């Protein structure tokens, strides 16, 4: 299957089969995709909380009440739920850890290369701190990882449902995220479609190419 076929056949799963679990090897591949997602200046401002047990999924599902109750069964019934978290602060400890890892991985053939990367990353972080839009910039990186996961899941035959309809404050409290310097952004339920997944029987719908592209 080529990349265009994956993009045109993957869909958002609306109901998961609770009896079907993602094999460990497939889940390992999806975790690798998340770990290696691209980010601006390789800032990697994320953390992924993966819930696989019934108990852990129930804890997350319990936060989805009121206006978000429609999403609770998706989390409860899926194979794995992934909470995409953002770091609340890109502090010196995080930036130093990134630089040390890049050096250990052989990213800097010269001291000048190391200094250039360090300076560039600090510039962008400080720039967004000064503009007071650091969370917005970080969230954009989170959504790059989200897109990678959705496409990878489709390639591996795994159904997915990204959910912004969540109570982030309730999730943060339930998972003790804030004390870890994290905040929840979006959840992705992963697994396999059930018979009552109405979206599996519907065609995909997108605006025509002519309205989306301008060739210059």
Rounded Cα gap, residues 216 and 205, in angstroms: 26
Catalytic residues: 14, 74, 164
Long-range Cβ contact pairs of 54-58 (< 8 A, separation 24 or more): 56/81, 57/81
| Phi, psi (degrees; rounded to nearest 5) at 164 | -95, -15
Residue 12, classed as helix, strand or coil, is strand
Relative to beta strand 80-87, strand 46-51 is antiparallel
- Count each helix (H run) and each strand (E run) in the chain, helices first: 9, 4
- From edge to edge, which strands make up the β-sheet containing 80-87? 46-51, 80-87, 182-191, 159-163
């Amino acid at each position: 299957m080529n990349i265009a076929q994956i993009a045109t056949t993957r869909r958002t799963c609306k109901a998961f089969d609770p009896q079907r679990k993602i094999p460990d090897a497939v889940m390992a591949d999806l975790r690798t995709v998340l770990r290696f997602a691209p980010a601006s200046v390789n800032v990697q401002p994320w953390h992924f909380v993966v819930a696989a047990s019934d108990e852990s999924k129930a804890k997350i599902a319990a936060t989805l009440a009121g206006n978000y109750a429609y999403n609770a069964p998706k989390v409860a019934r899926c194979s794995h739920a992934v909470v995409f978290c953002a770091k609340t602060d890109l502090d010196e400890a995080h930036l130093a850890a990134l630089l040390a890892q890049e050096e250990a991985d052989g990213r800097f053939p010269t001291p000048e290369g190391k200094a250039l990367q360090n300076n560039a990353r600090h510039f962008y972080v400080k720039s967004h701190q000064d503009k007071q839009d650091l969370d917005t910039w970080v969230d954009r990186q989170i959504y790059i990882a989200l897109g990678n996961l959705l496409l990878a899941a489709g390639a591996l035959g795994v159904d997915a449902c990204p959910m912004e309809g969540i109570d982030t404050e309730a999730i943060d409290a339930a998972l003790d995220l804030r004390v870890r310097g994290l905040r929840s952004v979006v959840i992705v339920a992963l697994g396999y479609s059930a018979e009552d997944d109405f979206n599996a029987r519907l065609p995909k719908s997108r605006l025509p190419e002519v309205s989306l592209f301008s060739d210059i």
